[in-house]
Structure 1
Amino acid sequence: MCSQCIYTKMTDSDSSFSSKEHIFPKSIGGVYCLPKGWVSDDVNNDLSGLELELIRKYPTIVMARYLYLTKSRKNHVNYDSIRVFQDETGYLSKQIINLKSNPITMPQLIFRRNYDISQDYNVQALNIENDDVFYNFFNLIKKIPAINWIDLKRTEIDELECYVTIINNTLYFVFSESLPSNKVIDEINQIKKYVESRCIELRLERELILGRGSVNIQTSFQMEKVRRAVAKIYFNGIARLFGHEFILNDDFDGIRNAILGGNIDSYIAGWESDFTNIEKTLSYIYNNGQNINKSSHVIFSMVDRDRVLKGFLVLYGLFHVSFHIEPIASNVDFFPRGYICDHELKKEYIFDASNQDTLIREVKF
């Protein structure tokens, strides 16, 4: 059978096909690949950077990987519990995220030293819902004893800024990577002096526990690459579910070209928006599954009566994107299909509504 790339449509007379393309990236637990000859080596190499942008830099995915992957590929335990995020255009503001439990943005104070008065700060509060939480920050900072050291990695925030958050009654200080190490203790003590000089009635009295927190480098990402990476995973899933001949149809030239380097926005129906309908579909799949973990990655797709191919991609049960591709002239039935990767159990499944006897079957090669 002649090899032909599902992205460029080039054949083995124009390209090499020595490698295989994972349906879900291996770095997020993907197990199986598309058949050899479906994706050329050039595309496999050229588009690998898109996946890195999504997996290593996009906040939701980074958080989820830390939540579910206790070890990296080199068997190093992921100890990091906090990360500071900001994209290149300010899409997300710099904020501290707790990665150890359910990934959430932490209540935090940002102390920014004034240029003119070295002992004074502008203080910004983020995600602090009531006065008690605010007072608790000040109370704990005021109780700091003589500090020997707090183990922190640097972040790419401004040298004049310090981020402070509380996790399990432990204070975490986040400083700029450009701030000299010998200045860290001085800066913490200056913040303490500033807080002590404020006339605030502190209503909460809680014991300070000084931990050895770990803070990772601030992450920036290119949204356009992230969107193309997500579309690529979805496109791989469509190819696996509907077949090589189907995906090579001219109906898909627009989205394949967008993945290779165009504007993918016209094919994205929703980006981490309303999860209600997706959640209902996932519940149906899980209820008919074989003890599939709800953190699994899922690609779901179907062609509706108006010949529009609709579907979604869910990663880690947290991140979700909806797609639509129209019109689809190819001859295909209207039964929903899905491809599921249980990254925790290292198993993958096919969901096929056209076969009620085996609605979900495990993929085995």
Structure 2
Amino acid sequence: MSTLIKQCIYLKGTEPELLFESQEHIFPAGIGGIQKLPLEYVSHNANNAFSALELGFMRNSILMLPRQFYGPGKRGNLSPKKASKSTVSLMTAVSAPESIEFGYMSLGKPYSIAQIKINVSTRECGLMFDQSFGDASTQMQNFISKLGEYNNKYFLYEDERFSPDEFILGFQDNRWYLGLSNLKLIPEIQGCIKRLLDQTSFDNQVPQYGQSQPKVEQIIQMNNDFFRVCAKVIFNYLAYIKGRDFVLQEKFDPIRNWIVNGGEQNFATLSGKEQILKSYFSSINCPEKAHKILILQDGSYLFGVISFYGGFETIVQLSDNYKEYFEAEGFICNWEEREEYSLKDFLINKLQE
């Protein structure tokens, strides 16, 4: 009885040097990927190294916008309760640009987080909550309880729109967010909270409700990490269709090493052969927001083209020394319907309809 050898397609190592504990998705699960590679293809060590890359890819790259508007949510879940969220950022009201508060985006809608605004000179304070999360009085009591546990650990947002005497402190997903313009206020914050809790009764406070149209500003990061994840997804698919031994060939070492280690970016671009992808997929009426991969040969070049949410096409050169014949291969991730299929299967099903 033979034992199946486990060898990582990225690190090239085997057991016991590397651990093989989980299967790698072709497309990341967080954007709806379903199909996985065999357990013995990608090591746990490589997966751990890639986790931060993929998280930034989903939360901070250009993909964060369609993901926040359309989904999917955590681990590809399509339930609105599990919808993906943007990172917490400062929001302003379009109708009242002097107003500023913490919030985030989910499925195209802005939400405020529980927060308090304090003016250290006038001793004025205001609590802010989002009606979407239920009764304001209940939210207030929960937030006050959390204020009593404030540990002076926070994510800092320094912004000149705050007056020098005020700060806001928000709480979301077990994290504190502090916004101010005057860093000299920071040593006073814990004392302000203690005095507030000692001197103020919140039991009989009557909430006031209002509506605003918030404006949310988010920073998109487009760097080599985005392209490395694109290359990794295409490389995963190449391993899926051709097998582990195929992608372990030396001709793929340059792209493999760049995916793993980064460095000079000579492999990926947002322009050029993406027209090939458009001509292939636009003519066959793919699901509008599906993710797609196409792997093609051009002389001695083997390259992949990847598309997310029906756009954002990226070309990745997989090898410049591919001498054998390669038949074009494609893959579609229809995350809205929780379906994935090869381009060939998709075309066959279309013909049979």
Name the TM tier (shorter chain).
Answer: 0.5 to 0.7
Equivalent residue, structure 1, for 2:235: 235
- The list of structure 1 runs, each at least 4 consecutive aligned residues, that deviate by more than 6 angstroms after superposition, is 79-85, 97-101, 148-151
Q: Deviations over 1:336-363 (max 9, x none)?
A: 10111111011101124xxxx974579x
- Whether 1:334 aligns to 2:333 is no
Cα pair 2:234 2:306 within 8 Å, conserved = yes
**Quick one: distance in 2 between partners of 1:161 and 1:18?**
49
1:273/1:81 CA distance change after superposition, 3 Å: farther
Identity %: 28
Q: CA deviation at 1:278?
A: 2.5
1 or 2, which has the higher strand percentage? 2
Equivalent residue, structure 1, for 2:101: none
**Quick one: distance in 1 between partners of 2:156 and 2:322?**
50
Cα pair 1:84 1:219 within 8 Å, conserved = no
Equivalent residue, structure 1, for 2:302: 309
| 2:55 counterpart (52, 56, 61) | 52
1 or 2, which has the higher helix percentage? 2
Task: State the Cα RMSD in Å.
Answer: 4.1
Cα pair 2:30 2:72 within 8 Å, conserved = no
**Quick one: distance in 1 between partners of 2:212 and 2:14?**
56
3-state SS of 1:344 partner: helix
Equivalent residue, structure 1, for 2:226: 226
Cα pair 1:312 1:323 within 8 Å, conserved = yes
Equivalent residue, structure 2, for 1:126: none
Structure 2 runs not aligned, ≥5 long: 91-103, 109-126, 131-154, 163-177, 183-209
Q: CA deviation at 1:18?
A: 1.6
**Which amino acid letter does the alignment assign opposite residue 344 of structure 1?**
E
Equivalent residue, structure 2, for 1:76: 81
3-state SS of 2:7 partner: coil
**Quick one: distance in 1 between partners of 2:267 and 2:159?**
41
Cα pair 2:73 2:84 within 8 Å, conserved = no
1:280/1:211 CA distance change after superposition, 3 Å: farther
Give the alignment's TM-score, normalised by structure 2: 0.60
Cα pair 1:54 1:230 within 8 Å, conserved = no
**Quick one: distance in 1 between partners of 2:315 and 2:305?**
4
Q: Which aligned pairs between 1:1-365 and structure 2 lie closer than 5 A? A: 1-58=4-61, 60-69=62-71, 76=81, 159-161=159-161, 177-178=179-180, 211-213=211-213, 218-219=218-219, 221=221, 223-263=223-263, 265-268=265-268, 270-271=269-270, 275-284=274-283, 286-287=284-285, 292-304=286-298, 306-329=299-322, 331=324, 333-352=325-344, 359=347
1:71/1:27 CA distance change after superposition, 3 Å: closer
**Quick one: distance in 1 between partners of 2:301 and 2:273?**
20
Q: CA deviation at 1:242?
A: 2.3
Q: Deviations over 1:64-83 (max 9, x none)?
A: 11121275559537598999
1:322/1:66 CA distance change after superposition, 3 Å: same
**Which amino acid letter does the alignment assign opposite residue 270 of structure 2?**
W
3-state SS of 1:325 partner: strand
1:178/1:318 CA distance change after superposition, 3 Å: farther
Q: CA deviation at 1:308?
A: 0.8
1:71/1:5 CA distance change after superposition, 3 Å: closer
Cα pair 2:30 2:73 within 8 Å, conserved = no
1:361/1:50 CA distance change after superposition, 3 Å: farther
**Which amino acid letter does the alignment assign opposite residue 287 of structure 2?**
N
Cα pair 1:351 1:359 within 8 Å, conserved = yes
**Quick one: distance in 2 between partners of 1:360 and 1:21?**
27
How many residues align? The count is: 253
**Which amino acid letter does the alignment assign opposite residue 261 of structure 2?**
G
Structure 1 runs not aligned, ≥5 long: 86-96, 102-147, 163-175, 181-209
3-state SS of 1:349 partner: strand
Q: CA deviation at 1:212?
A: 3.2
Cα pair 1:81 1:215 within 8 Å, conserved = no
Cα pair 1:293 1:342 within 8 Å, conserved = yes
